[in-house]
């Protein structure tokens, strides 16, 4: 399938081979169904999976994967006891034999039934698939009705990628200060009136990644690790898995609203891609770029130009061997392709300001770095990282402000995603100070949206992580204390004094992160690394290096060890890892995320919620599906 024409895949098609309707047989256990949906065991599976909740009218690909080769004459598929096509409205295509990606040797072919582009009315649906030899699978779906009347004209979804409670606490300390136990100010979203705990686990793992956790927000369906907008089936091709319609596609199909995506990561990265993209593997950067081009996204801003420019384009920063998949292998200029479709294409902060100010700008592609943009600490304070190579990077506040300027030119409203991606990326590197400075940056970007929406009552603003990290604050580190080991400078309980960071500047950033008494930020899951007990001022922390490579694949590292460049620093102490040796960085936590919301529709957020319910709240606030398609 041409990935640039995904919308066509939702349209029902005539079957290549139709399914007859033989009689139902005995049941296969629910355990086998779940195992099949987990992209691991060879078992019959139905997609969407059991207990899926769906918006009425939202499109999805219906699919049944059978265990092994099953002749079409030996299967029966029903919905609520009726032949599946009578309820789904279309006959499917039966694939009698294809390779199974869940089998290690790819030599166990299987059969499947596919019906693309299904949409259902409100109700409860029980799906059964049976075979003549006695195997069966069952799934029950709930399809809910759209809101009768929209509450919000606009939705702005802020993702603090990987943001924990500790991020919020530390950002408040650094940017606002704390005296005698009371903060002297709040983060911009601390006063949002509605809060919820968000469960982040995925279909195949309790520990999620950014791809399927973001996909849950944008589709209302649980997914699998590394998957975007799809259910993970047995197909080998990452673009050949059953798709579910995203909020970006729904907005484009069911309304005249605009859609914007802003990130300080690469725009092809998992979180921004979740608004429109469908792929089993988040690393499919070139396909993701094509899907964005086809999507009709109105504003797309961030880094990641390396996947847009011809392979002959010189790079300012060498691409790591592990990132080779991001580089184009052809001479295609995708930025020019966007320009040909009416997009303004700024490449610097000044060009962005000019483009946003121009009254005629309605579509904008802004790519300001070959990879991820530099974090707030490097950009605003240390001038480290790749700031020298990319001195004209806009930060998240400017991109948010300019995106709102462009999107608000649409009188019908918009949906905007804003991701503070480096909160997560620095926590993976165990670089707590940088992660915290980027949390301050997120607060500043949210303030831009609050100010914009202050005089209106039509905008739902949500601030949430997609997942968390095992990051905690346990006290302070006082370098004035004389000690043989830095660990004895750590203050806990009554010995944990208030940090001595200098007063923050107007943007909330202390301009010297090397306070003699500073926060002790710790991570609960890590590889071997040298803990220096102090911020890294020469650039982002590089905690590990590869010590053993796969003899059959030099690009694959089997063992990571502590990076020796930090071994001889005065305060360095070796921390023995508690993760497998093959883990290069810190990993995500299973802990709930904390969501804050304000504006019309925000009252839906309370208590504990699954991440899929965030999608339901957004489409309900917007009234998606309540109006006929244009």
On whether both 63 and 169 belong to a single domain, the answer is no
Residues in the chain, total: 630
498 domain residue, yes or no: no
Domain span at 547 = 526-585
Rounded mean pLDDT, 53-61:
96
On whether both 227 and 115 belong to a single domain, the answer is no
Burial of 422 per CB tally in 10 Å (0-12, 13-18, 19+): buried
C-alpha span between 415 and 154 (Å, rounded): 6
Last residue of a domain, one of 84, 115, 144: 144
C-alpha span between 465 and 14 (Å, rounded): 42
On whether both 405 and 286 belong to a single domain, the answer is yes
- Give how many domains the chain has, as a whole number: 3
Beta carbons of 518 and 510 less than 8 angstroms apart: no
* Residue 102 in this model has a pLDDT that exceeds 80: no
On whether both 417 and 536 belong to a single domain, the answer is no
Rounded mean pLDDT, 352-374:
98
pLDDT tens sequence across 155-167: 999 999 999 999 9
521 domain residue, yes or no: no
pLDDT tens sequence across 199-211: 999 999 999 999 9
Name the least confident of 56-60, 248-252, 331-335, 569-573: 569-573
Cis peptide before 48 (omega within 30 of 0): yes
CATH label of the domain that carries residue 600: 3.40.720.10
Per-residue pLDDT at 133:
84
* Residue 254 in this model has a pLDDT that exceeds 90: yes
DSSP H/E element including 397: helix 396-407
C-alpha span between 588 and 163 (Å, rounded): 10
627 CB-side CA count, 13 A: 16
317 domain residue, yes or no: no
Residues of the chain above pLDDT 70, percent: 92
Per-residue pLDDT at 106:
65
* Residue 368 in this model has a pLDDT that exceeds 60: yes
On whether both 355 and 399 belong to a single domain, the answer is yes
On whether both 231 and 293 belong to a single domain, the answer is yes
On whether both 107 and 219 belong to a single domain, the answer is no
Per-residue pLDDT at 474:
97
Rounded mean pLDDT, 214-221:
98
316 domain residue, yes or no: no
On whether both 564 and 451 belong to a single domain, the answer is no
Can you give the pTM of this predicted structure?
A: 0.92
On whether both 574 and 602 belong to a single domain, the answer is no
Residues of the chain above pLDDT 90, percent: 86
Which of these, 52, 185, 175, 68, lies nearest to 120 by C-alpha position? 52
C-alpha span between 443 and 464 (Å, rounded): 12
29 domain residue, yes or no: yes
On whether both 402 and 433 belong to a single domain, the answer is yes
Per-residue pLDDT at 626:
64
Per-residue pLDDT at 108:
81
212 domain residue, yes or no: yes
Name the least confident of 106-115, 248-257, 562-571: 106-115
176 domain residue, yes or no: yes
* Residue 225 in this model has a pLDDT that exceeds 80: yes
Per-residue pLDDT at 105:
64
On whether both 31 and 56 belong to a single domain, the answer is yes
pLDDT tens sequence across 169-190: 999 999 999 999 999 999 999 9
Per-residue pLDDT at 104:
65
301 domain residue, yes or no: yes
Last residue of a domain, one of 115, 144, 173: 144
Tokens linked to 263: 């990130």
**What average pLDDT does the structure give for the chain?**
92
- Name residue, tokens 């009218």: 57
* Residue 137 in this model has a pLDDT that exceeds 50: yes
CATH label of the domain that carries residue 98: 2.60.40.10
* Residue 40 in this model has a pLDDT that exceeds 60: no
pLDDT tens sequence across 79-99: 999 999 999 999 999 999 988
pLDDT band at 38 (very low <50, low <70, confident <90, very high): very low
Rounded mean pLDDT, 346-364:
98
On whether both 68 and 161 belong to a single domain, the answer is no
């Amino acid at each position: 399938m041409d990935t640039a024409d995904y919308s066509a895949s939702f349209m029902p098609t005539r079957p290549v081979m139709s399914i007859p309707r033989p009689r139902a047989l005995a049941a296969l256990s629910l355990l086998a169904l779940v195992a099949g949906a987990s992209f691991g065991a060879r078992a019959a599976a139905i997609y969407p999976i059991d207990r899926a909740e769906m918006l009425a009218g939202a499109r999805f690909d219906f699919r049944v994967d059978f265990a092994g080769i099953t002749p079409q004459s030996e299967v029966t598929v029903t919905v609520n006891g009726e032949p599946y096509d009578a309820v789904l409205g279309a006959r499917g295509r039966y694939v009698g034999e294809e390779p199974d990606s869940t089998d290690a040797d790819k030599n166990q072919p299987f059969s499947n039934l596919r019906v693309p582009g299904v949409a259902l009315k409100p109700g409860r649906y029980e799906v059964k698939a049976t075979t003549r030899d006695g195997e069966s699978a069952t799934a029950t779906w709930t399809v809910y009705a759209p809101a009768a009347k929209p509450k919000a004209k606009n939705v702005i979804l802020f993702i603090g990628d990987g943001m924990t409670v500790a991020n919020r606490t530390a950002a408040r300390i650094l940017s606002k200060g704390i005296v005698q136990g009371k903060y002297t100010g709040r983060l911009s979203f601390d006063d949002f009136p509605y809060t919820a705990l968000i469960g982040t686990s995925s279909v195949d793992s309790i520990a999620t990644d950014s791809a399927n956790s973001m996909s849950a927000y944008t589709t209302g369906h649980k997914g699998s690790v590394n998957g975007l907008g799809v259910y993970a089936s047995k197909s080998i091709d990452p673009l050949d898995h059953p798709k579910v319609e995203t909020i970006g596609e729904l907005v484009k199909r069911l309304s005249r609203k605009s859609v914007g995506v802003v990130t300080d990561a690469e725009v092809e990265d998992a979180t921004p891609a979740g608004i429109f993209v469908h792929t089993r593997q988040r690393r499919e950067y070139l396909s993701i770029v094509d899907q964005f081009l086809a999507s009709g996204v109105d504003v797309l801003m961030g880094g990641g130009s390396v996947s847009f420019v011809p392979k002959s384009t010189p790079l300012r920063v060498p691409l790591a061997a592990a990132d080779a998949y991001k580089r184009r292998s052809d001479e295609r200029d995708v930025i020019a392709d966007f320009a040909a479709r009416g997009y303004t294409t700024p490449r610097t902060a000044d060009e962005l300001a000019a483009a946003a100010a121009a009254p005629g700008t309605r579509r904008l592609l802004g790519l300001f770095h070959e990879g991820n943009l530099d974090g707030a600490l490097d950009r605003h304070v240390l001038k480290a990282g790749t700031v020298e190579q990319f001195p004209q990077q806009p930060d998240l506040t400017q991109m948010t402000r300019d995106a709102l300027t462009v999107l608000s030119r649409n009188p019908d409203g918009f949906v905007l995603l804003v991701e503070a991606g480096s909160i997560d990326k620095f926590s993976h590197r165990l670089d707590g100070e940088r992660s915290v400075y980027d949390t301050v940056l997120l607060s500043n970007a949210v303030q831009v949206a609050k100010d914009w929406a202050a005089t209106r009552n039509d905008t739902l603003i949500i601030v949430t992580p997609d997942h968390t990290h095992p990051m905690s604050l346990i006290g302070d580190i006082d370098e004035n204390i004389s000690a043989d080991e830095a660990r004895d400078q750590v203050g806990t309980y009554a010995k944990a004094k208030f940090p001595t960071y200098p007063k923050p500047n107007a943007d909330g950033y202390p301009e010297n992160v090397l306070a003699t008494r500073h926060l002790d930020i710790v991570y609960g899951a890590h590889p071997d690394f040298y803990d220096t007990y102090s911020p890294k001022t020469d650039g982002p922390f590089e905690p590990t290096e590869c010590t053993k490579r796969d003899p059959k694949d030099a690009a694959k590292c089997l063992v990571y060890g502590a990076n020796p460049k930090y071994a001889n620093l005065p305060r360095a102490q070796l921390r023995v890892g508690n993760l497998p040796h093959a883990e290069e960085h810190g990993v995500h936590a299973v802990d709930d995320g904390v969501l804050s919301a304000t504006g019309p529709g925000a009252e839906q957020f309370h208590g504990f919620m699954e991440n899929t319910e965030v999608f339901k709240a957004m489409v309900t606030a917007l009234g998606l599906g309540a109006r006929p398609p244009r």
